[in-house]
Structure 1
C-alpha cells in the first residue's frame, strides 16, 4: 500500500479493465481471498489514519464494496478485543432497495456472516460520535442515481467533519469519468479530511472532474495482483520527480536561437470593438519568456484607426519582449519556424488573421478566442484539420465551455466525460487537446490520454490560461525536438502550471528569501514564477 504522489507516473484503468483483472485474479485464488486482502488493507489504513480512534463507523452497502467494509470491520473489532483497546467498530449495513433483483455477491455474503459471527456491532443508524468513517456503500459498479437508506448515509459522510476513508472510490462517483450521480459536492469544502484507498487498480475518475475533491488523498493497494497483459490502461497520470528543477547542462555554445522563438498573436485593442484585451497577449508572452524561449515576439491586434504613435511598443515589466506589427509577423518566415500562440485576448479580431496562421504556422497553440472563432466557422475548421496532413503540430487549449462550442454540445456534456470530450476534440481536429479544469486532460491522437495531478482553485482567475498557453509555446519552440520530446515537455508544462499553484497555496506565493505582502495568486505573478522545463 502506498500514497499516490505527483512525483511518479501512474497507469489508470477503466471499470471494464478492472473487472477483467479482478475476474482473472479471483479465478486463480482461493474463494474470498481477494476480498480478504482488500478488507485487511482498509482496516490497516483506517488505523494508520486515526490510530487513537475511539469509534469507527463503517457504512456498508449491498455489494462487494460493502463486503470489503465488513471484512475491515471484522479486523478492527478483533484487533480491539485482542489488544484490550477501547475502539468500537460500528457497522451500518444496507442490503439494498427492496426491489433489487440481483442477489448479494457470494463474497459479500461470506463477509457478512463472518462479521456477525465475530461479534461486530451492527446498528440501524450511524453512531452520533465517531472519529473516522469508512465509506463502503457503493463501489465501481454504480451506474445510476443511488437511492434508499444508503443515500442518507452518503449525505452524512459527505458533510462529516471527521476523517472519511472511501473504499475503492467515493460512493456515488463514476469511476471512469469522475462525475457524481446527482449528488452535490459543495459540502466537501468544509468537510474533514478525505482519503480513498483504490484497490487492485487506480481508477481514472479519481483524478479528474469531481473525483479529485471527493477522493482527497488517494492511496493504492494492488492486492498482490499484477495487471493482466490484455487489460490496457485507459489513461496515464503525469508524474514529475522534481518540477522545481531548472534546465541545466546546456552546451556553452548555445545561443538564443537554440531555445527557439515564440510568436504571440492576440490582445485585441480597446479601440477595435470597445473591448480591450492587450493584457492577455502580454501575459502569454511573459510566460513564454520565463519558460525559456530564446526570443518572444508579440503581434497585437490593434485598430487600423489607431495612430502608430499610440501603439504598444514595449512592456516595462518585460522589456525583452519584441513587439511587431501583426502584419509584419504574418508575412515573416518566422511563422514557419517559431511556435505560434494564437488567440489570447484576440476577441473578434482574431478571425481575420486565423486563415493565414492556420495555413502557414508549423507549430501552433490555439487558445481562447481563436477556438471560439474556429467553432463558428466551418472553413477555419477545415484549415485546422488539414494541418496534420502537412505534418504540422497543433495544440488546442480549451476550457469546458470552449470545448463544448467546438463539439457542438453542452458544457454539461463535456463535464460528464472529460476524457471522452478531449479525445473527441483530438480526433476531430487531428490535434493535441489540453482540456483545462480539475485534472486537466491531455489527449494526443492515437495514444491513451494523460491526466494532470497538479493544480487547484487558485488558478480560477483571469489570465492564468493565457500563462499556460505561453508556457506551452515555449515548450514546443525548441528546434530539433523529436515528437517524443515535445510531448514530454508539453506534459511537464501542464504539470508545472498546476504545481506552481499548489506551491503557492502551501507557501503563500513567496519564494525562499522573498517577501510578498500580497500573496494572492494572479496571472502576472504566476508568469513570473515560470521556469524552463528540462
Structure 2
C-alpha cells in the first residue's frame, strides 16, 4: 500500500477494465481470498489513520464494497477497536463473498446496527464503491450526508460512494472536502475518476493497494503523469539550441495576457522570445521584460517559429489565424484563438489539415472553450472530461490540454494523461496564459506536443503546490517562478 502523490506515475483503469481485472484476479485465488485481502488493507489503513480511535463507524452497502467493509470490521475487531457497524441492505441478497465477510465480522464481535453511532473518530465509507448507478436515496443518502460533512475524517473504500470511476462526476453532493479529513483507498486498480472533475475533492488523499494482483495485460484507460525528468543543458549549447518562440496576442485592453505567456516561455527556457502584440500602441510594455523582443505580428517569419497564439487575442486574432495555421510548424492555440476556430468552419479545416502534414499542435481549452469547439455545452464536457479531451484530439489531430481539476492531456493516438499536481490557487486570471507559454517553450526546445504539454502542465501545478502558505499567487508571479 502506498500514498499517491502528484509525482507518482501510475496506470489508471476505468470501470469495465477494473471489473475484468477483478474477475481475473478472483478466479486465480481461493474463494473469498480477494475480499479478505481488500478488507485487511482497509483495516490496516484505518488503524494507521486513527490508531487511538474510541469508535470507528463502518457503513456498509449491499454489494461487494460492503463486503470489504465487513471484512475490515472483522480485522479491526480482532485488533481491539470498538466498532459501530451499519448495513444498508438485505442480508439475503448479499453476494457470496460479502455474505462470508459479514459472518466473519459477526464472529469477531462486530454485529450490524440499525443506526449510525452518536459519536465516532473515523468513518469508513463502504456503501457503494464501483457499484453506483443511480443517486443514493433514503437511509443511504442520510448516511452519506453525515459521512462527508467533514466534521470527522472519512476513509472511502475503493471510491467515495456515488463517484463515477471513469469520469469523476458524482451522483451525490459530496461537497468540496477539507484538508486532512478525507482519504480513499483504491483497491486492485487506480481509477481515473479519483483524479479529475469532482474526484479530487471527494477523495481527498488517495492511497492504493494492488492486493498483490497484476492487471494481467489489461491496457490502461489513462495514466497519471508523474513528475517529469530533469534535463541538464549541455555546456556547449546556445540560445539557438532551445528554439525561437513568438507569442501572438494582446489585443487592446488585454496585452497583459500575451506578456504573461511570453514571460513564462522565457522563464521555462525558450532560447529567444518574440512578442507580437495585436495592440501596437503599447511598445513600452516590453520594458518590463527587456529580454523579450517586440515584433509586428504580421511581419513574423511564422515558418521558422514556434508560436503561442490567442492569449488576450480578442477579436483581432481572427485575422492572423489563417497564416498561423497554415505556416507555423509548432503551435499552441489558446483562449481567443480557440474561440475564433470554434466559430469558423474554414479555420477548423485549416486546423485539422495541420496533422496531415505533420505540424505539431497543442490546444489548451478550458471547459467552456472545449464546449464551443465541440458544438455542445460545458456541462456535457465536465460530465466526461476524458471522453471530451479524446474526442477533440481525434477531431483535430492535435494534442488537447483540457484544463480544470485533474487537467487532461490527450493525443490523437495515445493513452490520455491526467495531471495530479496543482490546486485552487491557480483559479485566478492569467494562469492559463502562463501555461500556454510554458508549453510553447517545450515545443520550441524540440519536445513532441504530448510530452511538452504533459511536462508543462505538471510543472505549472507543482509551482502552485509549492507556493508559500499565506502568500497570494498571481499569474505574474507564477510566470516569473
TM-score by length of 2: 0.97
Which of 189, 192, 216 lines up with 2:204 in the alignment?
Answer: 216
3-state SS, counterpart of residue 390 of structure 2: helix
Deviation, 1:192, is 5.5
Distance in 2 separating the partners of 1:349 and 1:373: 10
Contact 2:175 2:202 in 1 (8 A): no
Matched ranges for 1:115-514 at <5 A:
115-181=105-171, 183-186=172-175, 188-189=177-178, 193-229=181-217, 231-240=218-227, 247-252=231-236, 254-269=237-252, 276-302=253-279, 310-329=281-300, 332=301, 335-478=302-445, 481=446, 483=448, 486-504=449-467, 507-508=468-469
Contact 1:298 1:321 in 2 (8 A): yes
CA contact (8 A) 1:162 1:192 kept: no
Check conservation: 2:67, 2:99, Cα contact below 8 A: yes
The question of 1:90 aligning with 2:84 is answered: yes
> Which consecutive unaligned segments of at least 5 residues does structure 1 have?
81-86, 270-275, 304-309, 510-518, 530-534
Does the CA-based 8 Å contact 1:7-1:240 persist in structure 2? Answer: yes
- Contact residue 161 and residue 192 of structure 1 kept, 8 A: no
- On the 8 A contact 1:256/1:294 being kept in 2, the answer is yes
Deviation at 1:124, TM superposition (A): 1.5
CA contact (8 A) 1:314 1:323 kept: no
Q: Is the 8 A contact 1:93 1:122 kept in 2?
A: yes
Q: How many residues align?
A: 481
Q: 1:7 Cα deviation (Å)?
A: 2.4
1:199 Cα offset (Å): 0.4
How far apart, CA to CA, are the structure 1 residues paired with 2:141 and 2:102? 20
Q: How does 1:31-42 map to 2 (within 5 A)?
A: 31-42=31-42
**Aligned-partner Cα distance in 2 for 1:103–1:359:** 63
Per-residue CA distance 1:384-431 (angstroms, 9 max, x = gap) = 000111110110000000000001111010000000000000001110
Secondary structure of the residue that 2:358 maps to in structure 1? coil
Q: Distance in 1 between matches of 2:149 and 2:304?
A: 54
The Cα shift of 1:316 comes to 2.8
1:140 is paired with a residue whose SS is helix
Give the secondary-structure state (helix, strand or coil) at the position aligned to 2:437. Answer: helix
3-state secondary structure, aligned to 1:353: helix
What is the CA–CA distance in structure 1 between the aligned matches of 2:305 and 2:133, rounded to whole Å? 47
Three-state SS of the structure 2 residue aligned to 1:423 is helix
Once residues 276 and 327 of structure 2 are traced to their aligned partners in structure 1, the CA distance between those partners, rounded to angstroms, is 16
Normalising by the residue count of structure 1, what TM-score does the alignment of the two structures yield? 0.87
Distance 1:313 1:25 in 2: 65
State the partner residue of 1:513. Answer: none
Q: How much does 1:495 deviate?
A: 0.1
Partners of 1:47 and 1:241 in 2: how far apart? 34
Contact 2:175 2:201 in 1 (8 A): no
